[in-house]
Amino acid sequence: MEGVNERLGEVIEASTGGFSAQCYKLYELPALGELVKCHYDETEILAVTCGGSTNSFEPGRRPIARGHDETSEDSLYQNNPQLNQLLRSEFGTVVVGFRQEGKYYHYLPSFPVRLHSFVYRCSDEEIIAFGESLEFLILLEGAQCEVPVEELIAACIRRMSVSNGPDSGFSVRAGKKLTEMYSGDYQRLRAILARLR
């Protein structure tokens, strides 16, 4: 069911704990901590974006500075149209749950997504519904990704808080769950809480 969700990219690497996807348009990456979903038969697999990068398609070719004589960054791209074909933006994700028969589950699904699955942005309603339980934060906490886990968790909570609305108290609820998770490690907790604004 494609529905009205925006398509963000296509899976190019997949494992049970997370997947990478390439964006269709250069630089049109989802934000850090965004909730995204893929379909696998009747199941919707949900994941949180944990980092993005833009680099050359071919591992052997590295981007070089081209703008010495350019007046602006935009004119650099204008004057080098082949860049759009040679570069690609991709983002990584951490799987945080799935939806089956209308119900959300906040633990890992049994299978990874398929390659070339389409990755969709989740709507505000889906984010609110998924965020009713905060158990998935534990999956984020154990993620292996290039950004520090504290940044990832904070970005995810900030994003979900926007969908829930400023008066929903979502941030406070998430903060309390984090307090449970990080009991005994106040410094880390404090680092995340400070990033929740």
Partner 1 sequence: MNSQAQKKLGIVIAGSLNQGIQARLDNNVSVEEVTVGNLVTIQGKSRRFFGMINDISLEVTDAGILQSSSAAEDSFISEILSGTATYGAMQVAPYLTLGVDNSLTDGPQPVKSIPSHFSPVLLANEADIELVFGRESKENFSIGNPLDMEVKLCLDLPEFVRRSNGVFGKSGTGKTFLTRLLLVGILQSGAAVNLVFDMHNEYGWKGTREKASPVKGLKQLFPSLVSVFTLDEKNSIDRGVSTDFVVNIGYDEIKPEDISLLRQTLNLTDQAVSATYQLQKRYGNRWIEEAMKLEDNEESAEILNSLNIHDATFGNLKRGLRNICNLPFVKPQVKERAVEKVLEYLENGKHVVLEFGRFRDITTYILIANLLTRRIYERYQAKTERAMANDSAPPRPLVITIEEAHKFLNPGVASQTIFGTIAREMRKYNATLLVIDQRPSGIDEEVMSQLGTKITGLLDSERDIDAVLAGMSGKSALKSVLSKLSSRQQALIFGHAVPMPVAFRPRDYGTPESYKELGSLRNDVDDDGLEDLW
Partner 2 sequence: MALDLHKVASSLFGMTNDFAASQETRAENLANAIKIFASANNAKSLKNKVEASKTSWLVAEIVNDFNGKHKPGALPEEFGILATDGSQIDVDRHRGARCYLINIGTVALKYGNNPRAELNSHPLLFSKEEDLAARPDNYIPGREMMVEGSLLGIRRTVEEFKYLAELCAGIPKKDKALALVDGSLIMWGLLSKEYPDYIVDAVLENGILQQMESIWQLNSERQVALASYISFSRSTDVVNALRVLVCPHEKADCDKYCTGVSTEERPCACFDGIRDRDIFWQSLDCDERSDVFASRSRINCTRYGRHRVHFYYIKTFDEIARVEVPEWVANDAELLSLSHSLVINQCYKGQGYPVALSEAHEQAVVTGADRENFYHLMDEYMAGKKLSVTISAKSLSKKTRWV
Q: Which spans of this chain sit near partner 2 (rule: CB under 8 A)?
A: 58, 61, 64, 66, 69, 77-86
- The window from 28-36, 72-80, 139-147, 177-185 that contacts partner 1 (CB under 8 A) reads 177-185
- The residue whose two tokens read 């379909």 is 39
Task: Report in angstroms how near the CB of residue 179 gets to partner 1 at its nearest.
Answer: 4
Task: Report in angstroms how near the CB of residue 176 gets to partner 1 at its nearest.
Answer: 5
Contact 147, 52 (CB under 8 A): no
The residue (of 75 and 133) whose beta carbon lies closer to partner 1 is 133
List binders of partner 1 among 113-172 (CB under 8 A).
171-172
The residue (of 124 and 180) whose beta carbon lies closer to partner 1 is 180
Interface ranges with partner 1 (CB under 8 A): 171-172, 175-176, 178-180, 183-187, 189-190, 193-194, 196-197
